[in-house]
Amino acid sequence: MLRVHALYCGSLEFERKLFFPASAEGLRMVAPVSSYLIVHPQGKVLFDTGIHCDARTDPAGRLGKRIASLFGIRSQAGEDPVGQLALLGLKPGDIRYVVNSHFHFDHCGCNASFPRAQFLVQDAELASARAEPKRYDAKDWDLPLAYRAIDGEHDIFGDGALVLLPTPGHTAGHQSLWIRAGDAQFVLTGDACYTREHLEKTILPGNTFDAARMTESMNRLRSLRDRRGVTLLYGHDAEQWHALPRGRKSLI
Ligand SMILES: [Zn+2]
Ligand SMILES: [Zn+2]
């Protein structure tokens, strides 16, 4: 049986317009940043690694002036994957695989903390990060880590329990994770869909790499929800996040 733990990695505060382009100027919103631990009999998997700890004390130094001016970091010490894993009695060395949904600063900021893990990233994301370094922060991802380039769907343990699902559009090689444990099915959407409202209304945020492909990815996620009974766990949905069991309590 799988266990799935939602790990809190702090929050971001920013102009609502960044998420909802039709929103009025001057409205602010706060969104959670998350990481997920999946305990599979053949190894532990971490989905995304949140924001680097230094961003809490020196946002401009770590994230650069532009990102730091757009996003306020609302995190306490320990609200990062290493701190959250410690609450479950785990160390970074216990993680076999890290999945990066994509290479934005709030999804791969603590990659360096997992030097013994194998990192599963879509080939298209690695290629995009190498070809267009300005879109990403090399400090977060361009490290001597064991990156494995994945091309398309990938069944991590070969038993159908954890399947990487390409959901491009937000970035060139974005991916989500489909979790199947008996009747319980989840997709960790990452930023393929920020919130339920984005999915319901097919809202594309300002920061979209390819609108047509993002719409396609959202349609695919919607169809998994509506036709296959999959629960979507959105990338930055405060309302959903607050209702989820978190930390030690497994989702299944
Ligand atoms: Zn993103
Ligand atoms: Zn994000």
Query: 171 CA distance to ligand 1 centroid (A)?
Result: 7
Query: 3 CA distance to ligand 1 centroid (A)?
Result: 26
Cβ atoms of residues 210 and 138 within 8 Å:
no
Residue type, 151: D
Query: 104 CA distance to ligand 1 centroid (A)?
Result: 5
Query: 191 CA distance to ligand 2 centroid (A)?
Result: 5
What's the pLDDT at 1?
85
Identify the DSSP state of 2. Answer: -
Query: 1 CA distance to ligand 1 centroid (A)?
Result: 30
Sign of the Cα pseudo-torsion (88, 164, 107, 95, in order): positive
pLDDT in tens, 139-172: 999 999 999 999 999 999 999 999 999 999 999 9
Residue type, 195: T
Query: 7 CA distance to ligand 2 centroid (A)?
Result: 14
pLDDT in tens, 194-231: 999 999 999 999 899 999 999 999 999 999 999 999 99
Query: 10 CA distance to ligand 2 centroid (A)?
Result: 12
pLDDT in tens, 62-107: 999 999 999 999 999 999 999 999 999 999 999 999 999 999 999 9
pLDDT in tens, 175-190: 999 999 988 999 999 9
Strands (E), 55-192: 72-74, 95-99, 118-122, 146-150, 154-155, 162-166, 175-181, 184-190
Mean of pLDDT over the chain: 97
Average pLDDT value for residue range 33-59: 98
Residue type, 96: R
Residue 54 has pLDDT above 90, yes or no: yes
Cβ atoms of residues 89 and 83 within 8 Å:
no
Average pLDDT value for residue range 108-127: 98
Residue 124 has pLDDT above 90, yes or no: yes
